[in-house]
Structure 1
């Protein structure tokens, strides 16, 4: 006898498509129905769930919904906190859209409609042996808002810098390749780019150029004379931009550089707030050389309670730092790709942490170097991701036991 109601919800920003089946696969309604994705719609959904449970004499309820951006957040919390549903022991499954897409392939010739998607979600919950999705832990949620904001800000800043490099090339084609400054987006470097054309630099007295560089470098640059000479050489080798494009290119470059400066200021502000929030957590990750407050916060915010994970392998899987296997008969592929799954934010912060740790520790530097030398393609990227995977057991142990980092004398060899 069926005893569980399974609710499939296809979520969108404005409305939700909903379908009911039981654990035997019986359709308890003729077709999916729609409710608005707001407070009133959630109230009505609870009433319809209660009515269905009573009508078919069911004793428990499972609710499946896709993790479509952030649109499932409020509904998940509301249904989970409903005192009316509590007697029916509700469990919730917030599904990755890719899993539902894969499951749907067993149903051939289905149209792509919200009606069908709600049914597929319900069937997926019925057939799959899923672990219920825990409610957001508000202890970590506030920190997670900031670390995820930082993730997007860093990526936007990177895109804006790439746009600036394109505009710099048009203005001063040899500058990026022959830039004498350690940071092309440093104060002195940008002062050169914004104030002079290649013709200006080529015709400018060397002494004037040296003085300009010194003034804008806050007298911190080591060999200003050499920098000025290299700039003149680069200016003589550069293409000249057509005069009809000079003004518009300069305007676009100026606006792009303003965006970069603004985002850099926002990043500094965000990092300070992240450090403040991190002080509320008892953690030791920032004792690892190279991992500061920001990277520690990003990792902790996404992991949450470490006790959610059975072991470090489960944590690696959650982060998506696992590799697909391709095997057929006696053939076993040696080059496999990283699985396209897991928490992208945690994976990002782990890889960033690995890039810092391998610079500051003997053990991880040796591991990175070994992996770098094993292949001839994608050396840095591959070695860095493998180093991030090697870092996970350390992070798992430190979060589980509250230990501080101690450098081992031996170097891990594989």
Structure 2
């Protein structure tokens, strides 16, 4: 089936012969009618689109399985010179019959819901950031100096903002933006509660928040994007799934040229990993030392992406081996866990009873944990201090002359 917003083109492959079966409306009733006309031994192939998951759920009870093809890898459709809906559907059927159809993993209902929550939260956060930038641009356009407070949109920041001289229309725009920020804050609170309730009993989320810089939103987004960790045979597969692997160009005996990251894959998860990378780069530990080492050679932007790639590799190892992060800070992890419980709606504990998260509020204990993390950072620095740039294999074997040598 070649899916569109309002209809789908159906082609049947049987005994090596393609037969056009007409169009079907993209409604539940029409799809159920199509499913009843099929045999239980049939297989349905569709391309990954915005409504492909809904089509798969409707047709699955009627057939052996529904296969969702990866549109980025179906080159025969993307590069065809003669392209119609009937030809596209026939190409999908022929590729599947020949065993060359690249298919995607279909998540279960629980994972799909987590993905929707993570995507919606990401959209709300992006919208909120865009509105804040518009307010800052208004102040910049009228030569208003930088806000002396840490947060322009806190109570003190808003009081300072109200005293600034602005034209009436700009003042109305600022007030409108502030009201929109308050509404988005309410939406974000509801989404965070739903995300916390879905993750409160998830062992994978609790394992990922042991990594420094990874909070509940990032851990939940990673678990939702990954689904079953067993489908990734190596950490490099997971890195490629997030689009954090560099592009490579190599032909013949020439050297391989590495470019920017591919950015092919889960964009929401990739953005959250980069966000967590900036947080991890500011905290003491091996990840901070790794960030500093890359930043000295390539700059802070590339270093942040390199840390995000390192976090993806860490996620694969932790989930595959069922282990917590080696350099986890227990008091910080307990504070994250307690924050997740409160966010999910659990009651507060008052009185003399203190939980493990209380240790994070004791400065001496918190500094002791940071000292251990700093020692791990120094160990990483000593470990990498003796590293030297690797020479190309052809140079090492004497096939090519090193640069600058005659």
Shift of 1:179: 3.2
Cα distance in 2, alignment partners of residues 104 and 13 from structure 1 = 18
Is 2:182 the partner of 1:261? yes
CA contact (8 A) 1:23 1:126 kept: no
1:335–1:318 CA distance, 2 compared to 1 (3 A): closer
Is 2:334 the partner of 1:343? no
The answer for the alignment partner of 2:363 in structure 1 is none
Choose which of 74, 77, 84 in structure 2 pairs with 1:104.
77
Cα distance in 1, alignment partners of residues 264 and 42 from structure 2 = 28
Decide which moves more: 148-157 or 137-146. 137-146
CA contact (8 A) 1:93 1:130 kept: no
1:105–1:277 CA distance, 2 compared to 1 (3 A): closer
- Tell me how large the CA RMSD over aligned residues is: 2.6
Shift of 1:128: 6.2
Cα distance in 2, alignment partners of residues 62 and 313 from structure 1 = 31
- Secondary structure of 2:177's aligned partner: helix
The answer for the alignment partner of 1:221 in structure 2 is none
- Secondary structure of 1:27's aligned partner: strand
Cα distance in 2, alignment partners of residues 127 and 106 from structure 1 = 19
- Secondary structure of 1:342's aligned partner: coil
Cα distance in 2, alignment partners of residues 277 and 128 from structure 1 = 37
Is 2:188 the partner of 1:275? no
The answer for the alignment partner of 2:225 in structure 1 is 302
Shift of 1:181: 2.3
1:391–1:34 CA distance, 2 compared to 1 (3 A): same
1:12–1:19 CA distance, 2 compared to 1 (3 A): same
- Secondary structure of 2:124's aligned partner: helix
Cα distance in 2, alignment partners of residues 18 and 33 from structure 1 = 6
Shift of 1:255: 0.6
Is 2:45 the partner of 1:45? no
The answer for the alignment partner of 1:150 in structure 2 is 121
Is 2:25 the partner of 1:36? yes
The answer for the alignment partner of 2:341 in structure 1 is none
Aligned length: 332
Cα distance in 1, alignment partners of residues 54 and 127 from structure 2 = 27
Choose which of 44, 47, 52 in structure 2 pairs with 1:72.
52
Is 2:275 the partner of 1:352? yes
Choose which of 139, 143, 150 in structure 2 pairs with 1:173.
143
Is 2:15 the partner of 1:12? no
Q: How do residues 381-400 of structure 1 correspond to structure 2 at under 5 angstroms? A: 381-400=301-320
1:310–1:142 CA distance, 2 compared to 1 (3 A): same
Gaps of 5+ in 1: 1-8, 54-59, 199-245
1:14–1:107 CA distance, 2 compared to 1 (3 A): closer
CA contact (8 A) 2:208 2:315 kept: yes
Shift of 1:48: 4.0
CA contact (8 A) 1:275 1:293 kept: yes
- Secondary structure of 1:325's aligned partner: strand
The answer for the alignment partner of 2:241 in structure 1 is 318
Choose which of 190, 200, 213 in structure 1 pairs with 2:158.
190
- Secondary structure of 2:46's aligned partner: strand
- Secondary structure of 2:209's aligned partner: helix
What do the CA deviations read for 1:291-325 (whole angstroms, capped 9, x no partner)?
22221111111111212222212211221221211
1:23–1:344 CA distance, 2 compared to 1 (3 A): farther
Q: How do residues 153-164 of structure 1 correspond to structure 2 at under 5 angstroms? A: 153-164=124-135
Shift of 1:344: 1.5
User: TM-score normalised to the size of structure 2?
Assistant: 0.73
The answer for the alignment partner of 1:63 in structure 2 is 44
Gaps of 5+ in 2: 328-372, 388-406
The answer for the alignment partner of 1:114 in structure 2 is 85
What do the CA deviations read for 1:231-259 (whole angstroms, capped 9, x no partner)?
xxxxxxxxxxxxxxx22222122111211
- Secondary structure of 2:23's aligned partner: strand
What do the CA deviations read for 1:139-166 (whole angstroms, capped 9, x no partner)?
3233222212111111111222222222
- Secondary structure of 1:34's aligned partner: strand
1:23–1:381 CA distance, 2 compared to 1 (3 A): farther
CA contact (8 A) 2:287 2:307 kept: yes
Is 2:289 the partner of 1:366? yes
Is 2:107 the partner of 1:136? yes
What do the CA deviations read for 1:175-227 (whole angstroms, capped 9, x no partner)?
3xx332222333322222233317xxxxxxxxxxxxxxxxxxxxxxxxxxxxx
